[in-house]
Structure 1
Amino acid sequence: MLTLYGIPNCDTIKKARTWLDKNKVPYQFYDYRKDGISPEKVSSWFSEFPWDKVLNKASTTWKELSEEEKAKVTDAKSAARLLSSNPTAIKRPVIEDENGKALTLGYNEKIYEETYLK
């Protein structure tokens, strides 16, 4: 079963969940704001997506960080630490397969069709 990572009140998460439900794609939802997320889990996504794509610099969370905090994010390790402590700065959603491999980042209907309806 797929795991969809995100926060429940995010509009992009709502779109992704609606699409998955409509297309009868089974998944479980993981609320990382409520349940937290480890730097190791975040780092595992970097094998599929560059760390600077997983880090959502358009997020309110990122914009509200001090310039000093932002300047500390220079590589995958520092990005994983920041995203673990500030999970709402993760680009949403991240969807993993049953083995924990990240399949998609963000919501894109065409990519979802190609990935989940094969």
Structure 2
Amino acid sequence: MAKPKNIKAEDVLARLDEGATLQIIDVREDTEVSRGMIPGAIHIRLSDVESRYTELDPELETVVVCRSGRRSRSACNFLIQQGFTKLLNMEDGMLAWKGELEEFYP
């Protein structure tokens, strides 16, 4: 099985600032995302990824995000099994995010 590539939060921010089109999936729990999400991110809790992954576009470069990088790696591993090939795991998670946040109300 292929492994997802890692990307640092600062590199995600730089890519967004450059105008890159990234599909960002936030797999944190509702209470965590209520503190703010990366603007434009899609919230799908890790426990829901298996039932909701068909909402995602496998052709887009996809960054998966959680608090510290562990849950996002699990989500990436599942998505690889579903045929996603353009996956990036934000290895340092939202703990390292220095960009803007948008409010989210689950």
Q: TM-score, normalised by structure 1?
A: 0.29
Question: Which structure has the bigger radius of gyration?
Answer: 1
Higher relative CO (CA 8 A, sep ≥ 6), structure 1 or 2?
A: 2
Using the size of structure 2 for normalisation, the TM-score is: 0.32
Higher-helix-fraction structure: 1
